[in-house]
């Protein structure tokens, strides 16, 4: 039994394309519908209440496309509103927190894990709680890095200022002698090189998007939801602002051309 219905993926904006990139790598024949809420981005600094309201609407947009599963690519949403999406959808819903937490627990040797993310993600303690569920002995140290998103969006991957900012944010984590660091925001994989450099390349970096793509593959198999077609998959992109900037910057995040990007009709706030 093959299931050609698309996987729905949503994010506050463009960052979730790094998760789509990983999905297309592990699941090259799965169709994907992506929604990026570019008219209200970012979610990271906003309150859990507002993020929960927005997430319900984002899920509804994907559900209109008859998706067979929803991947919450946004770490902030996964941290504070996964239950909202799960309650709304009668299909499997996977966020990025649990797969990222599990990968970190597997990777750490000294049971000392760092988490970096938005203010919303870090304040939620979602990664810490998830890691403790996998292994209660792991010690978790968190740091919000609000400037990393604008730096990644500006494309300042190897700028001296980015390195200085990374040093300032990551210094408290190096004092805690972490051996594993979760990149707890979809934008951060773009800053992997500078983060690695600041940590002297002796800390294992966990890309939650990668871990999530593997978890989605496992889930599809377990639920019998795979698309066994060998046809080239179809990727569809929707955004809430006009598509121009998303189309221009998106290629850097997706690792390939996006094709046509559509604007969705107005959302209620």
- By CB under 8 A, name the binding residues for a second copy: 38-40, 45-47, 49-50, 53, 146-147, 149-151, 153-154, 156, 159-161, 164-165, 168, 240-242, 244-245, 266-269
Nearer to a second copy, 5 or 52 (CB): 52
Nearer to a second copy, 180 or 240 (CB): 240
Collapsing DSSP to helix, strand or coil, 227 comes out as coil
Nearer to a second copy, 40 or 88 (CB): 40
- Residue 111, both tokens: 């049971």
What is the DSSP secondary structure assignment for residue 203, as one 8-state letter? S
How many angstroms separate the CA atoms of 75 and 121, rounded?
Answer: 6
93-119 burial: b if 16+ Cβ within 10 Å, else e: bbbbbbbbbbbbbebbeeebbbbbbbe
Alpha carbon 214 to chain centroid distance?
A: 13
- Annotated active-site residue 145? The verdict is no
* Nearest distance from C-beta of residue 190 to a second copy, angstroms: 15
Nearer to a second copy, 93 or 190 (CB): 190
Collapsing DSSP to helix, strand or coil, 154 comes out as helix
- Residue 98, both tokens: 């649990």
Nearest Cα residue to 242 out of 44, 36, 68: 36
Catalytic residue selected from 74, 165, 195, 220: 74
Let me know: does 147 contact 168? Beta carbons within 8 Å: no
* Nearest distance from C-beta of residue 188 to a second copy, angstroms: 15
Catalytic residue selected from 59, 185, 206, 249: 185
- Annotated active-site residue 74? The verdict is yes
* Nearest distance from C-beta of residue 169 to a second copy, angstroms: 10
Nearer to a second copy, 131 or 165 (CB): 165
* Nearest distance from C-beta of residue 147 to a second copy, angstroms: 5
* Nearest distance from C-beta of residue 97 to a second copy, angstroms: 22
Lookup result for tokens 């046509």: 260
Active-site residue list: 74, 185
């Amino acid at each position: 039994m093959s299931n050609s219905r698309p996987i729905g993926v949503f994010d506050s904006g463009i960052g979730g394309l790094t998760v789509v990139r990983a999905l297309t790598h592990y699941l090259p024949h799965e169709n994907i519908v992506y929604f990026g809420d570019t008219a209200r981005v970012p979610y990271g600094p906003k309150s859990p209440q507002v993020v929960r309201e927005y997430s319900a609407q984002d899920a509804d947009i994907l559900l209109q496309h008859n998706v067979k599963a929803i991947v919450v690519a946004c770490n902030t949403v996964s941290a504070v509103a996964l239950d909202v999406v799960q309650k709304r959808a009668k299909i499997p819903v996977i966020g990025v927190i649990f797969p990222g937490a599990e990968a970190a627990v597997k990777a750490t040797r000294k049971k000392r894990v760092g988490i970096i993310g938005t203010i919303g993600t870090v304040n939620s303690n979602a990664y810490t709680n998830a890691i403790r569920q996998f292994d209660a002995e792991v010690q978790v140290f968190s740091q919000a890095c609000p400037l990393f998103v604008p730096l990644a969006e500006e494309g300042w991957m190897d700028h001296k200022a980015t390195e200085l900012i990374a040093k300032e944010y990551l210094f408290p984590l190096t004092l805690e002698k972490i051996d594993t660091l979760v990149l707890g925001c979809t934008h951060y994989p773009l800053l992997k090189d500078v983060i690695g450099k600041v940590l002297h390349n002796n800390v294992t970096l966990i890309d939650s998007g990668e871990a999530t793509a593997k978890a989605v593959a496992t889930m599809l198999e377990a639920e019998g939801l795979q698309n066994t077609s060998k046809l080239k998959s179809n990727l569809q992109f929707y955004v809430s602002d006009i598509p121009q900037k998303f189309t221009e910057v998106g290629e850097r995040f997706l690792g390939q051309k996006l094709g046509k990007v559509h604007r969705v009709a107005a959302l209620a706030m």
